A and B are shown apart, each in its own frame.
Chain A
C-alpha cells in the first residue's frame, strides 16, 4: 500500500469527479485557435519600444523563437517567446513555433544579456513542442533544451513566464522556469500533446479528446497541482475575440507577477526559484519495504 497525504486525496477526488471535461476540450481548441494572439501581438501592445535580437551567434536565426530588448512600463526588459506564424508562409518560416536548438541557444544568449545588465526577463510560451526533426537532433536538441532550462535556473534577475497558447513539452519548459509562472485561462500546458499521448497510451491518435480528459492540460489543473501561480483572464470567447482586451488583462497580471518577482532579494532568487520547482511533484510513501521476494 502507498500512503498519500490528505491533499493528494482531495486532488484525486476532484479529478475523479471528471468535472469540467467540456472546458478541457474547449481550452485545447482555443489554445490552438488560428487567430489567437501570439508573442508579437502582445509585444506590440505591451511594450513602448522594442528591438528584436536575432541570431544565436553560432549557426542561424531561428524564427520560431524570438528574443527582444523592450521597454515595459518605463523599464527595460528582455522578452523571449515562441512565435507561430499567421499565414501559411509565415507559419512555415517560423516552423509553427517549434524551435531548433539554435532557437534555444538564442534564448540562452538573451538570458545572459539580461543577466549582464540586470534586466528582468518576460517569457511567452506558445509551442506545440521543440521541432522533432533529424537536423534538430543532429545539432543537439535535447542538450540545448537542458542548457536553456539551466540558464533560467541560474538567472539572478526576476523572471516571469506566461503560457499564452500551447505549452508543449520540453520545448515549452525550456523558457518557462521562472519566479512566477502564469497561464492564460484557455492556454494548455502538458508533457505531450493530447494526440501524442493518445497515440502512445490508447494506440490511436484519434482518441486525443480522451487523452486530454485524462491528463488535464488546463490552467485550472496546473494551478491545483502547484505548477503555476496565476491564471490570467481572457475576454469572453477567448483571447482571439479581442486582442486589445486580452493584452490589457495580460498586462495587469504581468505587472503584478513582475512586482512579486522583483520583490525577491536578488541574492536569494536562484535558490528560491530552485526550491519552487523542487517542491513540484506528488508522491506517497510505501508501507512495505522494497525488494520483496515474490
Chain B
C-alpha cells in the first residue's frame, strides 16, 4: 500500500537523470581527476557541491592519520531468507563487496581526532545504497560497546537509502537494535555525535542517526524519512526542490548545524573538546581569558590548529 523506504538502488545525486561520469559535478558540470577530488575532500572546487565519500576515505578525512583501528570487519550478511528478487541477494552482496572492498555498508572502529580518542561508525552509500541490515546493526553496536567500555564519544557518519529489504523484518529490527545502542551510551553519559551525509533516509534517519546528542549535516544532503519520489507517488503532493535538504531541516529545527566538509574535522574536534571533562583553570576572578592559540584553553588550541581562532576582548 504505502512504500515507506526510498529506493535504495538510487545513486546519490542522480536527480538530474541521465548518465554522468561520477567525477563530473552534477551542479556545475566541472570535471575532475580522481586525485583532484580526493585532495579537495570530494568537494567541487568550482561550486562547492559535495560528492559522495566512501567509508574508508571519510575515515581518512576525519581521523588523525594512522589512528584508525577497525572492528567487526569479518562480519558478513548471511541471507537467512534465501532472498531472490530479480537477482539473488547473495549476488548483490558479492558485487557490492567487489565494488567497494567493504564487507557491508558500515565500517566501525576507533581512532583519534586531533589526539582525542573516539569511536566511529561510518557508512558507505556505494554498498547497496547504504542499506541497513543485520551486519550494519551489529557493527554499530560494536562501535557503541567500544565507546561505553572506554568512555569515549561515538561519532557516526550516515549515508543510506533506508533498511535493506532483502533482510525484511530483521532489517527493520536493526532500528530497535541501534537505538538500544544509543540508549546504552546515554545510560553511562557517553556523547554521541551524528553526522548526516547525502542521503540519509528511511530506517537509518528514523533510528540512531536522529538521536545524536549533537546532529549536524553536510550541505545539500537529502535527509527525510520518505524520499521525494515516495511522497509524490503516495500522497500526490508536490515536493519543493529544497524538500528534506539539510538547509530546510536546519530551518525546521531538526539539526544543530550544516557543516561544509572542509570544516567537519575541525568542528568534530571542537565538540570532542567541549564534551571532555572540565580542566583546571587558573584561579583568580579578574584574570583575563587565555588568548587564541594559547596552551591554556583546549578549545582555543584546537580552533587555532584549524585557523578558526576566536577573537577575545
Contacts and interface: CB of A to CB of B under 8 A. Distances in A.
A292 to B, nearest CB: 7
Interface string A250-279: 000000000000000000001001100110
Contacts of A245: none
Interface string A137-171: 11111110111011001100000000000101111
B83 A281 contact: no
B235 A134 contact: yes
B179 A286 contact: no
Contacts of A292: 101
A189 B202 CA distance: 17
B284 interface: no
B294 interface: no
A281 B137 contact: yes
A174 B224 CA distance: 16
Contacts of A134: 231, 235, 237, 239, 243
A153 B3 contact: no
Residue among B3, B205, B244, B252 having the largest count of chain A Cβ atoms under 10 Å: B3
Interface stretch (A56-64, A110-118, A124-132): A124-132
Contact of B176 (A153, A196, A203): A153
Given A225-B170, A278-B180, A150 B211 contact: yes
A225 B226 CA distance: 27
A67 interface: no
Interface residues of A, number: 82
Give the interface size bracket for B toward A. 35 or more
A192 B5 contact: yes
A68 interface: no
A153 B180 CA distance: 6
Interface stretch (B72-80, B115-123, B257-265): B72-80
A197 B165 contact: yes
B3 A280 contact: no
B12 interface: no
B102 interface: yes
Contacts of B5: 169, 191-192, 196, 200
Given A15-B80, A191-B168, A215-B169, 9 more contacts: A32-B1, A142-B223, A142-B225, A145-B207, A189-B169, A193-B3, A227-B169, A290-B70, A294-B98
Shortest Cβ-Cβ A-B pairs, 3 listed: A196-B3, A281-B134, A132-B226
Interface of B: 1-5, 7-9, 56, 70, 73-86, 98, 101-103, 133-135, 137-138, 141, 163-177, 179-184, 187, 201-203, 205-211, 223-226, 230-231, 234-235, 237, 239, 243-244, 248, 252-254
Interface of A: 2, 4, 8, 11-12, 15-16, 32, 96, 98, 128-134, 136-143, 145-147, 149-150, 153-154, 166, 168-171, 173-174, 176-177, 189-193, 195-197, 199-203, 205, 210-211, 214-217, 221-222, 225, 227, 270, 273-274, 277-278, 280-286, 289-292, 294
